[in-house]
Amino acid sequence: MIDSVSPIRFDWTRPEIDALFQRPLLDLVYDAATVHRQYFVAGEVQLSTLLSIKTGACPEDCKYCPQSGHYHTELVREPLLDLDTVEREAKAAKALGATRFCMGAAWKNPPAKDFPKVLAMVQTVKALGMESCMTLGMLTSEQADALADAGLDYYNHNLDTSPEFYGEIITTRTYQDRLETLGAVRDAGMKVCCGGILGMGETVSDRAGLIWQLATQNPHPESVPINLLVAVPGTPLAELAQIDPLDMVRAVAITRLTMPSSYVRLSAGREDMDEGIQALCFMAGANSIFYGERLLTTENPSVARDRALLGKLGLSSEVLTSA
**pLDDT, tens digit, for every residue of 187-228?**
999 999 999 999 999 999 999 999 999 999 999 999 999 999
Residue 296 is predicted with a pLDDT of 58
DSSP assignment of 58-105: BS---TT-TTBTTS--SPPPB-PPPHHHHHHHHHHHHHTT-SEEEEEE
SS3 239: coil
Residue 322 is predicted with a pLDDT of 40
Residues of the chain with pLDDT under 70: 1-3, 75, 293-299, 318-323
Residue 297 is predicted with a pLDDT of 56
Q: What CA–CA distance (Å, rounded) separates 260 from 221? A: 11
Q: What CA–CA distance (Å, rounded) separates 18 from 9? A: 16
Number of H helices, E strands in the chain: 11, 12
Catalytic status, residue 281:
no
Residue 182 is predicted with a pLDDT of 96
pTM for the full predicted model: 0.90
Q: Decide: residue 267, CB within 10 A, 0-12 exposed, 13-18 middle, 19+ buried.
A: buried
Residue 271 is predicted with a pLDDT of 83
Among the options 102, 194, 207, 270, which is catalytic? 102
Among the options 133, 194, 250, 270, which is catalytic? 133
Residue 62 is predicted with a pLDDT of 86
Among the options 178, 193, 207, 281, which is catalytic? 193
Q: What CA–CA distance (Å, rounded) separates 236 from 200? A: 10
Sequence-distant (6+) residues with CB within 8 A of 205 are 18, 162, 164
Residue 275 is predicted with a pLDDT of 93
**CB neighbourhood size of 59 (10 A):** 14
Catalytic status, residue 193:
yes
Contact 169, 161 (CB under 8 A): yes
For residue 137, which amino acid is it? G
What's the full length of the chain, in residues? 323
Q: Which residue, among 55, 52, 58, has the nearest Cα to 70 in the 3D structure?
A: 58
Catalytic status, residue 133:
yes
Among the options 250, 256, 265, 270, which is catalytic? 265
Among the options 65, 173, 178, 207, which is catalytic? 65
Torsion of CA 247, 252, 257, 258, to 10 degrees: 100
